[in-house]
């Protein structure tokens, strides 16, 4: 047997034998995996349905159209691009479509729970080619919307990202919209982490408030790796060509041939996420996260959160990595993470980040998370 097949088998066993708490990870369905591993991976389809640069795309067009229709219905957007390879290319495409190099953009600071593509200075595409200003969180780790407003009014960015990767609170889309509208900025909701919670009805949707929604499809949404860019009615009301601008930025602006196998797997995941079972799943994710956070707190830890699927736990100055390794040794997989206003750094953070989407997929309920929380608190305090 090819060594790589053996390694895949080992990884599958490892994933199933350990407790997976990285909040951006999940376990996809067999049908999602079937679509990913299908012959669709053999096909080139540069362009969009009905306008391809290659022949032989009759069935592929149907697949992409179905993914688009299902995704639009699920999110309630007017237009959907399903070709972005992942979240970073999706956000890059939005920037390419709407902002010129050197113009001002605004996003949440990385160590406050933001994302690299939301304007993290100097080392990223978004921070290097655009003039980036960033907002922070308060001592509890919550966005200070008044300070955000002051920053936006003073700096007048052309585009604002409302989105997070390590933020345990509900986002107030209306407040974001008021701030963005005050200065006429594009408002982009990056819902990568919470897409599953939104479509499952346990987090408010940004769609009525923002111009654009971006999201990966592999986190709480439980689909394949990939991303979508949605254009809302508010977006089209502002610019009738917005959908075209987004599509052109994805292809040919940034990418070549779309990964049709991923797009088919997205269509599968969108269908799965539109059912009643998924609503129950989303509710259970949030219940489980709350129980885990409460248990850790009862165990004496300082926990940021939670109102959603994740929490950030203060494990002591610069101890995040060391604690994450100790947990890994105990079969519990988390990631080291900065805490709000961390005195350490992204390389030596003082926290760990944990979430419940993956283990909720595995059937974990509140009692399981109480037991897990007690174990984690013991390990952290060792």
Q: Which residues are annotated binding-site positions?
A: 110, 114-116, 345-347
Residue 216 annotated in active site: yes
Residue in 190, 272, 307, 368 annotated catalytic: 190
Residue in 34, 156, 175, 225 annotated catalytic: 225
Residue 364 annotated in active site: no
The most distant pair of C-alpha atoms in the chain lies apart, rounded to whole Å, by: 62
Of the residues 19, 24, 90, 98, which one makes contact with ligand DSN according to CB under 6 A: 24
Alpha-carbon distance 302 to 12, whole Å?
A: 33
Which CB, 220 or 295, lies closer to ligand DSN?
220
Which CB, 87 or 344, lies closer to ligand DSN?
87
Which CB, 115 or 120, lies closer to ligand DSN?
115
Which CB, 24 or 92, lies closer to ligand DSN?
24
Residue 219 annotated in active site: yes
In the block, tokens 């895949």 appear at 8
List the beta bridge partners of residue 314: 302, 351
What does the block give as tokens for 104? Answer: 């001002």
What does the block give as tokens for 1? Answer: 């047997």
Residue 225 annotated in active site: yes
Residue 44 annotated in active site: yes
Q: Which of residues 48-87 bind ligand DSN (CB under 6 A)?
A: 87
Residue 74: name the closest of 237, 213, 261 by CA: 213
Residue ranges of E strands in 181-260: 186-190, 212-216, 227-231
- Compute the least distance from the CB of residue 218 to ligand DSN, in Å: 10
Q: Which of residues 112-141 bind ligand DSN (CB under 6 A)?
A: 115
Residue 80: name the closest of 168, 159, 163, 195 by CA: 195
Q: Which of residues 185-244 bind ligand DSN (CB under 6 A)?
A: none
Q: Does 111 bind ligand DSN (CB under 6 A)?
A: no
Alpha-carbon distance 379 to 238, whole Å?
A: 52
Alpha-carbon distance 35 to 262, whole Å?
A: 7
Q: What residue number has its CB nearest to ligand DSN? A: 24
Alpha-carbon distance 382 to 373, whole Å?
A: 14
Residue in 52, 149, 219, 290 annotated catalytic: 219
Q: Does 165 bind ligand DSN (CB under 6 A)?
A: yes
Residue in 33, 34, 46, 61 annotated catalytic: 46
* Residues found in the chain: 382
Residue 46 annotated in active site: yes
Q: Which of residues 4-23 bind ligand DSN (CB under 6 A)?
A: none
Q: Are 220 and 272 in contact (CB under 8 A)?
A: no
Q: Coil, strand or helix: which one is 131?
A: strand
Which CB, 40 or 166, lies closer to ligand DSN?
166
Q: Is the peptide bond before 44 cis (omega within 30 degrees of 0)?
A: no
Which CB, 64 or 190, lies closer to ligand DSN?
190
Q: Are 82 and 71 in contact (CB under 8 A)?
A: yes
- Compute the least distance from the CB of residue 166 to ligand DSN, in Å: 7
Residue 225: name the closest of 238, 216, 234 by CA: 216
Q: Which residues are annotated as a binding site for (6S)-5,6,7,8-tetrahydrofolate?
A: 110, 114-116, 345-347
Active-site residues, by number, are 44, 46, 190, 216, 219, 225
For ligand DSN, the binding residues (CB under 6 A) are 24, 87, 115, 165
């Amino acid at each position: 047997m090819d060594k790589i097949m053996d390694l895949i088998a080992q990884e599958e066993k490892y994933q199933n034998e350990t407790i997976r708490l990285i909040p951006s990870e999940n376990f996809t369905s067999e049908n999602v995996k079937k679509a990913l591993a299908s012959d669709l991976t053999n096909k080139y389809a540069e362009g969009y349905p009905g306008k391809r640069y290659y022949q032989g795309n009759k069935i592929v067009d149907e697949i992409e159209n179905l993914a688009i229709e299902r995704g639009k219905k699920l999110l309630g957007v007017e237009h959907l691009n399903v070709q972005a390879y992942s979240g970073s290319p999706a956000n890059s495409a939005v920037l390419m479509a709407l902002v010129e190099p050197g113009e001002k953009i605004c996003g949440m600071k990385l160590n406050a729970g933001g994302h690299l593509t939301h304007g993290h200075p100097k080392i990223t595409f978004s921070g290097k080619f655009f003039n980036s200003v960033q907002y922070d969180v308060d001592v509890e780790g919550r966005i200070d919307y008044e300070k955000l407003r002051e920053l936006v009014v003073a700096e007048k960015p052309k585009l604002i990202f409302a989105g997070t990767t390590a933020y345990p609170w509900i986002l107030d889309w209306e407040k974001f919209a008021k701030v963005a509208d005050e200065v006429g900025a594009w408002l982009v909701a990056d819902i990568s982490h919470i897409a599953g919670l939104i479509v499952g009805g346990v987090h408010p949707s940004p769609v009525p408030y923002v111009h654009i929604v971006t999201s990966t499809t592999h986190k709480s949404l439980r689909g394949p790796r990939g991303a979508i860019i949605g254009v809302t009615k508010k977006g089209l009301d502002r610019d009738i060509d917005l959908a075209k601008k987004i599509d052109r930025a994805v292809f040919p602006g940034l990418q070549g041939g779309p990964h049709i196998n991923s797009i088919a797997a997205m269509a599968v995941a969108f269908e799965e996420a539109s059912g009643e079972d998924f609503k129950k799943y989303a509710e259970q994710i949030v219940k489980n996260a709350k129980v885990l956070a409460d248990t850790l707190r009862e165990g004496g830890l300082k926990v940021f959160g939670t109102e959603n699927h994740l929490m950030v736990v203060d494990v002591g100055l610069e101890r995040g990595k060391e604690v994450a390794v100790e947990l890994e040794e105990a079969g519990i997989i988390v990631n080291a993470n900065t805490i709000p206003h961390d005195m350490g750094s992204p390389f030596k953070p003082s926290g760990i980040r944990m979430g419940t989407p993956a283990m909720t997929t595995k059937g974990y309920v509140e009692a399981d998370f109480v037991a897990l929380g007690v174990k984690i608190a013991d390990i952290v305090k060792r």
